[in-house]
Amino acid sequence: MIGAVDLEIRRTVFEWLTRHRDESGSEIFTRDELLYWQFRGRRLPLVGPQGIWKPAQCELPLSISTIAGGPYEDSVDPVTNQLTYAYRGADPNHRDNRGLRQAMRDRIPLVYFVTVVPGRYVAQYPVFIVGDQPQALRFSVVVESRLADLDSLAAGLGVSDDDDLKRAYATRIIRQRLHQVTFRERVIRAYHERCALCLLRHQELLDAAHITPDTAEAGDPVVSNGIALCKLHHAAFDRMFFAIRPDYRIEVRPSILAESDGPMLVVGLQQIHDRTIYLPRRAADRPDPNRLEQRYEEFRQAS
């Protein structure tokens, strides 16, 4: 069982992550924020050069990290619905792998950092290592639905088997949120932090709009299925006030063009008619013309 200092570090990290998220209104943490975090006035990095990270002040690993490259389901066991996390290297007895194995035995909570774009992370916590698969070189990970009562660690923190369904549900919700956050970060980054229609740059007012809805079978969380839009244009896009044709030109619904409702309607919607949207530099990040064509047909029927 870990000592009092390690326990206090974990409690303080969880509290700081929660406070930072609540005060900033964002799920995102920058690498510098994590590298230069302090405990008792001394620097204590929360991430390291490798995925399994144990600061010198801790007895067991404090965090695990991964890169959200490709579909997140690639890191999910299809049978148990648990997250899976790769060993460090191919040696099951590497000290980092032994550390996670000990954290599993002692039911020690960790932070799971997912890199959504270079230098920017989403934090999931507390997570627990609940399975070890030496032949597959992977651990199984579950996410708690709420912060654990860390005071109970002093008496031997346990994760009850009765909580399996609750943890599976929480893990599924976490995966969905990671999809959303990763999709938003990548789309907005591709559009250089500006609305593709009005070029607004305030990130707090920007969304990643899906061309094919994420609820649809083909609604993949890939950049080419997204467009960076301000909240006004996102809402108007979802409600078919306008469409973006496969040639990237905007077509506003005739009934909207015929309305008379003040300057916001004129500037925000009527004046964007027949303009070309701002496009990402990389061709692979630009809106998929096939998806736009399908949505344009839906727009025409709705108009």
CA 277 to chain centre: 26
Residue 52 CA to residue 61 CA, distance in Å, equals: 7
**CA atoms in the 13 A half-sphere facing the CB of 239:** 9
Residue 303 CA to residue 297 CA, distance in Å, equals: 10
**30 strand-pairing partners:** 120
Q: What's residue 204's pLDDT?
A: 85
Residues of the chain with CATH 2.30.280: 4-184
Residue 253 CA to residue 240 CA, distance in Å, equals: 8
Q: Are strands 110-117 and 63-67 parallel, antiparallel or unpaired?
A: parallel
Architecture of domain 4-184: Roll (2.30)
**What value does the mean pLDDT of the chain take?**
84
Instruction: Decide: 253 and 242 in contact? Cβ < 8 Å.
Output: yes
- The H-assigned helical ranges of the chain are 4-24, 31-35, 95-106, 164-190, 231-238, 254-257, 263-268, 289-302
**Pairwise pLDDT comparison (19 vs 26), residue with the higher score:** 19
Mean pLDDT over residues 33-39, rounded? 95
pLDDT, tens digit, 9 for 90 and up, residues 108-160 = 999 999 888 888 898 888 889 989 989 888 898 887 754 443 444 444 444 44
Identity of the highest mean pLDDT range in 156-170, 176-190, 227-241, 258-272: 227-241
> What's the pLDDT band for 74 if we cut at 50, 70, 90?
very low
Is the confidence at residue 39, as pLDDT, over 90?
A: yes
Please, what is the Cα angle at 29 between 11 and 24, to 5 degrees? 85
Per the confidence metrics, is the pTM higher than 0.75?
no
Residue 52 CA to residue 39 CA, distance in Å, equals: 20
Task: Kindly list the distances between the CA atom of residue 186 and the CA atoms of 92, 97, 145, 220, 285, in Å, as whole numbers in the listed order.
Answer: 34, 31, 26, 13, 9
**CA atoms in the 13 A half-sphere facing the CB of 252:** 20
Please give the share of the chain, as a percent, with pLDDT higher than 70: 83
Is the confidence at residue 38, as pLDDT, over 90?
A: yes
Instruction: Decide: 131 and 105 in contact? Cβ < 8 Å.
Output: no
Residue 1 CA to residue 174 CA, distance in Å, equals: 28
